[in-house]
Chains A and B, each alone.
Chain A
Amino acid sequence: MLPEVIAGNSDALAVDQQVPGAIVDAVMAVDEPQIYIDSAQIVPVCRHLKEAGFVRLAGITGVDWWPRSPRFEVIYLLQSLHDKRRLRLAVRTGEGQEIDSVTSVWRGANWYERETFDLFGVVFRKHPNLERIMMPADWEGHPLRKDYPVHGHKYSYRDE
């Protein structure tokens, strides 16, 4: 049973038919729905959507809802090149959990997943090269987490 906000959405219907039970929730963001996918099903869903025309992955990013649990949302921004329509997927995940990498579906997911790992600490399983991309390799912590301070992480001038 699909959530009400996407009941008439043809893409969501097709996903539900191909990968039953993958859609766990959906919210109506301002102008387009954000569809929540079961974290175990993200690769089959993405593979199906790519075959259905969403050949472009515009980006992957994260949102930290700390102290809510599970704290992270990983956002996938897709676009179809036929009619240029967009689709936004999201996966909820907690600290210490892993999500399957979608690099096997879109090669371009590589850097976006590295960035999400670097800045949020979300681990992507089966990623070919999951290293830090923005921060130095020996950096401690993940800067975009909400419990990471904006000022003075390690080298604080205020303590002196």
Chain B
Amino acid sequence: MREGYDHVASLDAEHELAIEDPSGLEYKGSQPGSGRRMTLNMGPQHPSTHGVLRVVLELDGETILSARPEIGYLHTGIEKQCEAKKYQQVVPLTDRVDYLANLNNNLCYALAVEKLLGLEIPEMAQWMRVLLCELTRVASHLIWLGTHALDIGAMTVYFYCFREREEILKIFEMFSGQRMMTSYIRPGGLALEPPRGWHKAITRVVERLQSGVDEYQELLAGNPIWVNRTKGVGMLPVDIMIDLGVTGPMLRAAGVNIDARKDSPHSSYDKFQFDVPTRTANDVYARFEVRMEEMRQSIRMVRQALDGMPSGPWHADAPHILLPDREKMKTQMEALIYHFKIVTEGYRVPAGSVYQVVESPRGELGYYVVSDGTANPHRVFMRTPSFGNLQSLGAMLEGVLIADSIAVMGSMDFVLGDVDR
């Protein structure tokens, strides 16, 4: 019994005496260990699930005996739709899988298709991809931080995070015309030429992000309520986490150094200097620390990209794959023909299969693309990090209090679109 609740207990005791009856059906209250179990549906519409997730909780008092996540409420059959589309038409669908990390999804799909095509991407396009993907990582982590803090009760951080994220979204809008569903990274390079003044705009945002991240760290890390709610909560032995398919910041907070950017280099990531932050505490607070540090590392990489951006073309020399720009299309016969052919029949991709991995803000994002030699992908399997991470929820919630389950779910940072696809 917590301090300050003694009067409630005494009231309870009186109440129990009052309703005692000779039938033997004794009222035992709802204290833990009283043996009265209760099944509670958390969701599908619950603010802390950040989407439509239903968790069936078996409760003893306030303690969770077992938790069973039920998913599929957001299943939209994206993988089936991919099979009906041409290769270039799949790109907008990948935005909608993980709608907080759309550019990482674009990148993963583009890399998979480029690997099947055997296409070399110019260095400038690769660096631009890294720059934008790292900005996406910061934007996604800002959403995680804001909503996670809001769930635990710190409202101010939410507004700060969304203010900063808006600045990043303005950059995306500048590049692609879209704030969230950018479809900017495509097989063959980028969708459009980087806009005039991008360097200045990003430099300005990066300055602000750097001070912002330090500010939020101070806001929360020294806050006793935050520390009490997150330290020592949501722990799970690391071998079980690996067994259950957990990846990304959650696994790094458990001390496993795993990061697809280092382990299977792609897109010039090997030319950037960055550290993979790890912690060993393996609780909600450690995941907070890892993600905060990741934001700093991403900002560091964005700075490197700003300083060392190579010059050169922003797309591969592959007119049969990437749409020509409008000006050329209207003045050159070949460009018009290529445009017509790509739009009407697409491009054929040699038969084969490839499993391409990138590091999304949530963990290992993999696209398994199978081609049968036609212009439509035969199969696109999306190995999404949220799906693997969410599978550990049941094990992680066993024996914790309901209030802590909110902190645990927030620390997992899943996106239901990413889980259900």
Residues of A within 8 A of B (CB): 29-32, 34, 55-59, 61, 63-64, 75, 77, 81, 84, 86, 88, 106-108, 110-112, 119, 132-136, 143-144, 148, 150
Contact A30–B116 (Cβ < 8 Å)? yes
- CB of B341 within 8 Å of the partner chain: no
Contact B353–A34 (Cβ < 8 Å)? yes
Distance (whole angstroms) from the CB of A25 to the closest CB of chain B? 14
Q: Which of B9-17, B214-222, B237-245 contacts A (4 or more CB under 8 A)?
A: B237-245
Contact A59–B354 (Cβ < 8 Å)? no
Contact A86–B242 (Cβ < 8 Å)? no
Q: Which of B69-77, B102-110, B176-184 contacts A (4 or more CB under 8 A)?
A: B69-77
Contact of A81 among B256, B264, B354, B366 (CB under 8 A): B256
Known: A58-B366, A144-B80. Contact between A107 and B72, CB under 8 A? no
Closest to A59 in B: B383
Contact A134–B355 (Cβ < 8 Å)? no
Known: A56-B245, A135-B75. Contact between A84 and B353, CB under 8 A? no
Contact B242–A134 (Cβ < 8 Å)? no
Task: Report the Cα distance A106→B388, complex, angstroms.
Answer: 12
| Chain A residues within 8 Å of B79, by CB | 119, 144
- CB of B41 within 8 Å of the partner chain: no
- CB of B378 within 8 Å of the partner chain: yes
Contact A55–B242 (Cβ < 8 Å)? yes
Contact B84–A81 (Cβ < 8 Å)? no
Known: A31-B354, A77-B368. Contact between A58 and B245, CB under 8 A? yes
Contact B370–A88 (Cβ < 8 Å)? no
Contact of A59 among B240, B366, B370, B379 (CB under 8 A): B366
Closest to B366 in A: A58
Considering only residues 175-202 of chain B, those with a C-beta below 8 Å from chain A are none
Contact bitstring B359-384, A, C-beta under 8 A = 1, else 0: 00000101010100000001101010
Contact B116–A81 (Cβ < 8 Å)? no
| Chain A residues within 8 Å of B388, by CB | 58-59, 108
Closest to B69 in A: A111
- CB of B263 within 8 Å of the partner chain: yes
Known: A57-B245, A107-B243, A108-B391. Contact between A134 and B352, CB under 8 A? no
Distance (whole angstroms) from the CB of A119 to the closest CB of chain B? 8
Contact A59–B381 (Cβ < 8 Å)? yes
Contact bitstring B75-99, A, C-beta under 8 A = 1, else 0: 1010111011000000000000000
Known: A29-B352, A31-B115, A84-B258. Contact between A150 and B71, CB under 8 A? no
Q: Name the residue among A59, A61, A81 with the largest chain B CB count within 10 angstroms.
A: A59
Known: A86-B355, A106-B243, A150-B83. Contact between A134 and B420, CB under 8 A? yes
Contact A30–B243 (Cβ < 8 Å)? no
> Given A59-B368, A111-B391, 11 other A-B contacts at CB below 8 A?
A31-B115, A55-B239, A58-B383, A61-B381, A77-B366, A81-B256, A81-B258, A106-B243, A107-B243, A134-B421, A143-B80
**Residues of A contacting B: mostly:** loop
Contact B244–A134 (Cβ < 8 Å)? no
Known: A59-B381, A107-B243. Contact between A29 and B353, CB under 8 A? yes
Contact B368–A61 (Cβ < 8 Å)? yes
Known: A144-B80, A150-B80. Contact between A63 and B379, CB under 8 A? yes
| Chain B residues within 8 Å of A59, by CB | 245, 366, 368, 381, 383, 388
Contact A30–B115 (Cβ < 8 Å)? yes
8 contacts between A and B (CB under 8 A): A30-B115, A34-B353, A55-B239, A59-B368, A75-B368, A84-B258, A134-B71, A135-B75
Task: Report the Cα distance A110→B69, complex, angstroms.
Answer: 13
Distance (whole angstroms) from the CB of A90 to the closest CB of chain B? 9
Task: Report the Cα distance A56→B263, complex, angstroms.
Answer: 14
Known: A133-B72, A150-B80, A150-B81. Contact between A63 and B370, CB under 8 A? yes
Distance (whole angstroms) from the CB of B247 to the closest CB of chain A? 8
| Chain A residues within 8 Å of B387, by CB | 111
Distance (whole angstroms) from the CB of A115 to the closest CB of chain B? 8
| Chain B residues within 8 Å of A34, by CB | 353
Considering only residues 224-271 of chain B, those with a C-beta below 8 Å from chain A are 239-240, 242-245, 256, 258, 263-264
Closest to A115 in B: B387
Known: A58-B383, A134-B75. Contact between A108 and B244, CB under 8 A? yes
Distance (whole angstroms) from the CB of B259 to the closest CB of chain A? 9
Contact A150–B245 (Cβ < 8 Å)? no
Considering only residues 380-421 of chain B, those with a C-beta below 8 Å from chain A are 381, 383, 387-388, 391, 420-421
Q: Name the residue among B79, B116, B355 with the largest chain A CB count within 10 angstroms.
A: B355
Task: Report the Cα distance A111→B394, complex, angstroms.
Answer: 12
| Chain B residues within 8 Å of A31, by CB | 115, 354
| Chain B residues within 8 Å of A86, by CB | 264, 355, 357
Contact A107–B240 (Cβ < 8 Å)? yes
Closest to A148 in B: B80
Distance (whole angstroms) from the CB of A72 to the closest CB of chain B? 11
> Lowest 6 A-B CB distances belong to which pairs?
A108-B245, A84-B263, A61-B381, A59-B383, A134-B75, A134-B72
Task: Report the Cα distance A57→B245, complex, angstroms.
Answer: 6
Contact bitstring B337-356, A, C-beta under 8 A = 1, else 0: 00000000000000011110
